[in-house]
Structure formats: C-alpha cells, structure tokens
Structure 1
Amino acid sequence: MLGNLLVALSGFILYSDKVFSFLGMQFIVPEKWAAAGMDFPTFVWFCSQTISPAIWALSTRLFKTHLLIHAVPVYCYVLQLYFIFFDFKIVDDSYLQVYVVGTTVLTMLALLGMWWLLRRHVAQKIEQAKKIVLENGK
C-alpha cells in the first residue's frame, strides 16, 4: 500500500510547481539560481524532476507495488514531454489528454510486453537448467 502511494506521489510531485503557484506559496530561491534568472516555479520544477525518479525507483525497489499504479508516473512524464517538446498551443488543445492517454497506454503495453518476454526467457532458462540437472543425475 505504501509503495503504491509513493509511486503515485512520484508522478504527482512533477506538478508541485503548479500547486505552489496555485496556493500562492513562494520561498526564497538559492542565490546561484536567482543570479541565473530562475524564478521559484522553475526551481521547484527542476527539483521535482530530480526527486520524482528517485522516489519512483526506491518505492519500486523497497515495496511490492501493483504494476498498474506505474501508469501514474508514466502518464505524468509523458505529459511533461508534451509540455517540453511541443508548442504551448497544443497544451490548450482538447485532444492533448487523448494523446497522453494513448501514449501512456502504449508505454504500459510495451513495459508489460518486456516483462512478459523477460519472464518467459527466465522460465526457459530454468527449464533448460532442470533438464541438464536431470540428465547429469542419471
């Protein structure tokens, strides 16, 4: 349960800059970032981009998580890619969510496919090892 919450948090944390802006919260940006002209929301976004994958990796490693919950950070990262690589006009496009959902579904299917192939490969290796052990035991 805790692992699933942390995986979901790893996706949601990517939007912490939006939450701070919505709530009107702002803290002092470190001097070297302020000197470079970075504002508070951008600083928070950079920090969340670093913290999010660490939370995702640790929660997956330390806890047993449901595979489907990984759709949350995948969805959030795919949405981030749309913000980064496309003109901001597409963000206002009503089809954006369809694109992101479709890309997330395809990404999750690819991950499931890789997991299935890996599992099948490991099962084949185990069967081969069993045969060798049985043949050597006779």
Structure 2
Amino acid sequence: MTLSLEPFRTDVLKEIMADHKENYNNDDLLALYCFFGGVPKYVELLMDNDCTDMEKMVEYMTRPDSQFFDEGRNMLIQEFGKQYATYFSILGLIAAGDVTLPQIDGMLGEKSLGGQMKVLEEEYGLIKKKRPIRANNTSKTVRYEINDIFLRF
C-alpha cells in the first residue's frame, strides 16, 4: 500500500496565509503556490520562519544554507538508492529539452530505459508524456517533460 499526499489546494493555502498574515495580498499567495505548489512540508517550513510575503520567500529559498538547494537531489537519492545515477541522467536530459524515449536511450547508451521511464511517470509522477495536439493516445510521437513543480524549479 502506498500513501500519496496531495499538495494543498489554493483555498487551503488562502486559509494558511490568512492565519499567518492578516493582510496578505494575492501576489504573496501566488508566490507561495508557484514556488512550492502547495507541498505541505514547504508551506509549513515557510510559515514557521515567518516567510509570508514574496520577498521573504525568495530570500529564505536563496540563502546559502537553504535546504532547498539540495532537497530535490537528496530526496531522489533516497528514493532511487543505488540506481539514482541513471534516474538523474534521465531527468537531466528531460529537463534540458524536448526529448523522446529513443533519444534518451541513445544519449545514455542504453538499450531501453522504458522501465525507468515508467517508474518516473507512474510511481513517482516526476515526468509526463506530451503528444502533439492532433496525435491520438497510441501515437509513438511522445516527448517527455518534468511534471514535478519542485524539480522543475
């Protein structure tokens, strides 16, 4: 059994902002959502450190000792264990541009990374498929993009 926690909805973020800063504005709410996508851990971290406006959020995130610099990397290493290098390579190629599975296989010199792609997409929700607008769901012209807001940032 897998427990999957969803990000806070915007109405919940509004309540949280109102609880921590009576006169918050919509720019602050938008920044909170855009930077962290409603991920409870990060929302709590910001609120606990009185980062309730966009300037304070950016300042907190970009401090030299900010946990955000290594957070994504450390989280993925913990999840993927010994195979993390392969997953990092795949994610790096996808983040760098519009790529297909055969291109990823070719760039990494692997026969097929379909299994890893499936794990990244279905188990972790870190990537998603993009098809051309008029292509049907069975089209092989699939490209990949980073789906996770935190990793994309």
TM-score (norm 2): 0.27
Identify which of structures 1 and 2 has the higher relative contact order when contacts are C-alpha pairs closer than 8 Å and 6+ apart: 1
Pick the structure with greater CA Rg: 1
More helix per residue: 1 or 2?
A: 1
TM-score (norm 1): 0.28
